């Protein structure tokens, strides 16, 4: 890779014109002075995004307009339209700090062509989040802190394409993202990249500010998708170690998560009742500024949704506990 490679920034977007404008404005202010192209794939937007992209924008863009096909298909389209040797993926709600792009490029120069560089997606100082989004951000921050301390290194499991970069040829050789997955498609690709020998690295200086926003139902759907996909990735996609990780990690989960899982697993009425109670506890704790209690309640809700979906994909309660091999105390 040359000292100043051409970088293709690929951004999939869907109905987030105002947030996309903020991202593009930040890209226009990057400190990196090498060659850059920005490819924005509007994935079936209906809010005026297409018209915005074909007009004047803060930085020149290659606008790709397509019918809605999901984030995996949109990123694949962006990669195929790109011409740079290095691809940086940004989400349309991740605003890069001024040195984000330079930090990605510097990390690749230091680590070599087989590196996958992951930048942090941190809380913006001017953005108010719902408590479940703040919980999600706190879980990310915990991983970032652990990697910075050296507790563990970055792996495929930290490959979130809101802020990550790698050589374009690796994406093409691996076959790109699997569009059959509407969630966790980035991690599934990362498992294939790891199988090909690529090395993952966390670069703290490659900061992106995550203006995250999602409904409670969307947050729960994410938990269920990750639970279901843990089984699908292991059983159907050739990554058996994914389910092994789930088994090994279950005993380390918070006691509340294990308690509600044992009591409510694949019991819809109990799951609904406990979810409602824990959400009420979280809201009351949030109002009382007892955020640690709210966080624990949200962990219980997320964990229950995750393990319910995982058990469904395994085939039932008995299969779930059998899979856990007795490591559930």
Average confidence (pLDDT) per 10 residues, the chain, 329 residues: 77 96 98 96 96 95 95 96 96 97 97 96 94 95 95 93 96 94 88 95 97 95 94 89 91 94 97 98 96 96 97 96 70
pLDDT value of residue 296:
96
pTM assigned to the model = 0.92
pLDDT value of residue 184:
83
User: In the chain, what are the domains?
Assistant: 7-214 (3.90.550.10), 217-323 (no CATH)
pLDDT value of residue 329:
38
Rg (CA), the chain: 20
Q: Which residue has the tokens 């090498």?
A: 34
- Listed in sequence order, the residues at least 6 apart from 267 whose beta carbon sits closer than 8 Å to its beta carbon are none
pLDDT value of residue 327:
52
DSSP H helical segments within the chain, as ranges? 17-27, 49-53, 71-81, 100-111, 131-149, 168-174, 185-195, 216-235, 241-249, 255-264, 268-287, 291-314, 317-323
Cβ atoms 182, 73 nearer than 8 A: no
C-alpha 257/C-alpha 177 separation (Å) is: 32
Which residues are 11's β-sheet partners? Answer: 40
């Amino acid at each position: 890779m040359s000292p100043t490679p051409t970088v293709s920034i690929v951004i999939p977007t869907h109905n987030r014109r105002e947030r996309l404008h903020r991202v593009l404005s930040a890209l226009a202010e990057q400190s990196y002075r090498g060659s850059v192209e920005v490819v924005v794939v509007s994935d079936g937007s209906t809010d005026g995004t297409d018209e915005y992209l074909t007009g004047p924008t803060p930085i020149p863009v290659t606008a790709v307009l397509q019918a809605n096909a999901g984030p995996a298909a949109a990123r694949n389209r962006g990669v195929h339209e790109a011409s740079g040797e290095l691809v940086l993926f940004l989400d349309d709600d991740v605003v890069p700090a001024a040195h984000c792009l330079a930090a990605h490029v510097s990390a690749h120069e230091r680590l070599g062509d087989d590196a996958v560089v992951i930048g942090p997606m941190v809380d913006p100082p001017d953005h108010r989040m719902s408590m479940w989004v703040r919980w999600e951000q706190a879980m990310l921050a915990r991983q970032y802190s652990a990697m910075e301390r050296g507790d563990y290194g970055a792996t495929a499991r930290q490959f979130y394409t809101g802020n990550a970069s790698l050589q374009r040829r690796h994406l093409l050789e691996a076959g790109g993202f699997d569009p059959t997955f509407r969630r966790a498609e980035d991690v599934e690709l990362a498992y294939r990249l790891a199988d090909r020998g690529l090395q993952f690295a966390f670069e703290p200086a490659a900061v992106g500010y995550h203006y995250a926003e999602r409904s409670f139902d969307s947050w729960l759907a994410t938990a269920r998708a990750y639970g279901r996909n843990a089984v699908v990735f292991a059983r159907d996609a050739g990554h058996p170690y994914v389910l092994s990780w789930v088994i090994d990690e279950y005993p380390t989960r918070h006691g509340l998560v294990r308690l509600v899982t044992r009591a409510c697993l694949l019991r819809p009425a109990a799951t609904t009742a406990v979810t409602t109670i824990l959400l009420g506890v979280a809201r009351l704790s949030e109002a009382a500024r007892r955020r640690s209690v709210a966080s624990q309640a949200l962990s219980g809700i997320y964990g229950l949704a995750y393990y319910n979906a995982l058990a469904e994909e395994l085939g039932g309660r008995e299969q779930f506990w059998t899979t856990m091999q007795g490591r559930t105390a």
